[in-house]
Amino acid sequence: MNLIARTAATLMVGFGLALSGCGKNENGGSTPAANKPAETPAAASSEIIIGHYASLTGSEATFGISTDNGIKMAVEEQNKAGGINGKQIKLVTLDNQGKPQETQTVVTRLIEEQKVVALLGEVASSRSLAGAPIAQRKGVPMISPSSTNPDVTAVGDMISRVCFIDPFQGFVGAKFAAENLKLKRGATLYNRAQAYSSGLNTNFKEAFTKLGGEIVSEQAYSDGDNDFSAQLTAIRGQNPDFIYVPGYYTEVVNIARQARKLGLSVPLIGGDGWDSEELKNAGDALNNCYFSNHYSQEDTRPEVQEFVKKYQQQYDGKVPDGLAALGYDAARLLFNAMGRATSLSGKDLAKAINETKNFAGVTGNISIDANRNPTKDAVVLEVVNGQPKYKATIKP
């Protein structure tokens, strides 16, 4: 070992840290609209441009793609019905590759280059938290379709959302475990690098202890971890009745498979981060597992059934997940607010969004409260061979 090696070691560690933030080239959005050059001001006056930033590639790619599908559908419907006050809506979607740093770049580009009047995005709370301060500073209203961390809308009056928030979602998981499944001893395994996961973990713990349960083990992992056996072994030693895993679907698939390999057969319970068709990769490892979500496609309400039917027609029979439904709702709520707003300036539009009351969405009735969060019911879905099935509805 000499000086060169030591310097190289230091370099490499530093390089690795830097690289985790900048590994990829930008490859733009996937919608045809994103590839067109920025609109000239003359063209902009005949149409309304809205921006969507999403993870169309990367680890949580299905989140971004589903949401974008839902939004696209809402835009097409609105344009067919005559747009807003005679103006057509144009959607520009940019890919942030599932990275917070990239998110700041694409949000700035949407605002500066595309001159969007409003933003939709993101699914993951960490990435919404990266985009929200920019939207707030530039005075562009932003509606997050499915970021559940409370901090997202706390950024300012330009930021709102159409999904419930984590204190409620944590309560839903806890109530379902304690009252529906009658379980007493819980363990948790969460991603400490994601605002969504660590926030939900805290909220769940509080709610579950309040309901008389006991948390026997609390374990964490980080982005990019793929081996959970050490944590699961520690959890197994405490003999819990179930494990609360408030992570994203990629991790959950691996956690479930590794847990079953270790002989841990207790149910796993999670949140809306599980919602993806990719759960099928878990095979039977996720049987007898549950997650809280925003809606169930088995819901018999006419709004839901009509949405599912239209979505399947448009996207080759794919069943819409909760993220597609929330994307659809977020876009429609935005159009509704645009129709009511006195002008499309950031302030007026944000005011109209924040005054929304009893908007009939696919994911339930949406009324935006003083903190710009809606109050809604949640459903709990059971995973049966990788397919989510309706299990229960939990009210606030």
Partner 1 sequence: MTQFLQTLFDGVTVGCLYALIALGYTMVYGILKFINFAHSDVFALGVWMSITIAAWLGVGAADQPAPAWYMGALVLLGTMAFCGFVGFVIERVAYKPLRKAPRLNVLITAIGVSLLLQNIGQQKFAFGPYPKSMPKLLEGGALFTIADVQVRTSDVAVIGTALALMAALQFLIYRTKLGSAMRAVSFNTRNASLMGINVDRVISFTFVVGTMLAAAAGFLYGLKYEGQAKQTADSMWVMLGLKAFVAAVVGGIGNVRGAVLGGLLIGLIEFFGVAYVSSQFRDAYVFAILIVVLLFKPEGVLGRATVEKV
Binding site for partner 1 (CB under 8 A): 1, 4-6, 8-9, 11-13, 15-16, 19-21, 23-25, 57-59, 61, 97, 192, 219-227, 229-231, 233-234, 236-237, 250, 253-254, 257-258, 260-263, 278, 281-283
Q: How far is the CB of 58 from partner 1 (least distance, A)?
A: 7
Choose between 100 and 133: whose C-beta lies nearer to partner 1: 100
Q: How far is the CB of 123 from partner 1 (least distance, A)?
A: 15
Q: How far is the CB of 247 from partner 1 (least distance, A)?
A: 12
Choose between 24 and 301: whose C-beta lies nearer to partner 1: 24
Choose between 39 and 251: whose C-beta lies nearer to partner 1: 251
Q: What is the 3-state secondary structure (H, E, C) of 69-84?
A: HHHHHHHHHHHHCCCE
d(CA 306, CA 179): 33
CB 144 within 8 A of CB 163: yes
Q: Which run of H or of E encompasses 326?
A: helix 322-340
The amino acid at residue 16 is: G
Bridge partner list, 94:
53
At 286 the three-state DSSP class reads helix
Q: How far is the CB of 280 from partner 1 (least distance, A)?
A: 8
Q: Which run of H or of E encompasses 314?
A: helix 302-314
Q: How far is the CB of 22 from partner 1 (least distance, A)?
A: 9
**Helices within the chain (DSSP H only):** 3-22, 32-35, 41-44, 61-80, 100-112, 125-138, 151-154, 166-175, 195-210, 229-237, 249-261, 302-314, 322-340, 346-354
At 126 the three-state DSSP class reads helix
Choose between 44 and 234: whose C-beta lies nearer to partner 1: 234
Burial class (CB in 10 A: 0-12, 13-18, 19+), 361: buried
Choose between 23 and 86: whose C-beta lies nearer to partner 1: 23
d(CA 174, CA 211): 8
Q: How far is the CB of 241 from partner 1 (least distance, A)?
A: 19
CA nearest 78: which of 332, 309, 365?
Answer: 332
Q: How far is the CB of 272 from partner 1 (least distance, A)?
A: 19
Choose between 76 and 223: whose C-beta lies nearer to partner 1: 223
d(CA 286, CA 386): 7
Choose between 137 and 192: whose C-beta lies nearer to partner 1: 192
